Amino acid sequence: MALDKISGLKSSIASWLARTGDSNITGAIPDFITLAEARLNRVLRLRTQKQDAPLIGTPGSRYLDLPTDFREAIALYLTTFGDQWRLSPRMAGTLDLSDEAGTPVIWMVNGSRIELDIPCDRAHTFLFRYRSKFALNQDDPNATNWLLSEHPDAYLAASLVEAYSFMKAMDKASTWEGRLQQTLAEIGDENDEAEGDVELEIDPSLPRLNWYC
């Protein structure tokens, strides 16, 4: 079965473990994948994870919902007036808040939401640039994502490290850990080369606040 979907990944993990009929192991495969994803999300910071999401504010509220696949914030732009105005970020707990509604200029990530310095005085529109996380929907046998499609060996190796650790087969876990480290290094090199090939050209006549990065 192809490894570009989660159903194929699960089957491949069971085959590599040679435990296709062992329900104690096959039943834990979703956990192995979840743990593998948690680790991959901690160590990978790739250009393909950068996403843009349009957000809409609610009049009278200072909060915006984060995308469900949010991992790390990059920038928030106000787009209400046609241009992209980059808002100033702050660390959580350092934002000076006001209850007077208006046009926000400062923001921070607070828990599961974006918090603005003031409530919106209208349904302001925003563009949120962020780094997404890898999170396969394990209830959908056809679920996939960029990493599984392009680098299924990363998913497989990370899952088998967790599986063999669970089985206390530490020699095999160590073998797959080595393969995982090699795979991650190669993915990182590929990502660095791809980013190095991009030349950003900016029209110097544009206002600096409208530059998009």
Tell whether 211 is covered by a domain. no
Q: Would the pLDDT of 153 be above 50?
A: yes
187, 140: one domain: yes
Looking at the structure of the chain, the number of domains it has is 2
Instruction: Write down the pTM of the prediction.
Output: 0.77
58, 113: one domain: yes
72, 104: one domain: yes
pLDDT tens-place string over residues 163-184: 999 999 999 999 999 999 999 9
Domain boundaries, position 180? 6-44+136-196
70, 126: one domain: yes
Tell whether 1 is covered by a domain. no
CA 147 to CA 49: how far, in whole Å?
Answer: 9
pLDDT tens-place string over residues 59-83: 999 999 999 999 999 999 999 999 9
**CA dist 127 → 55, 87, 108, 133, 145 (Å):** 6, 10, 14, 18, 23
pLDDT at 198: 41
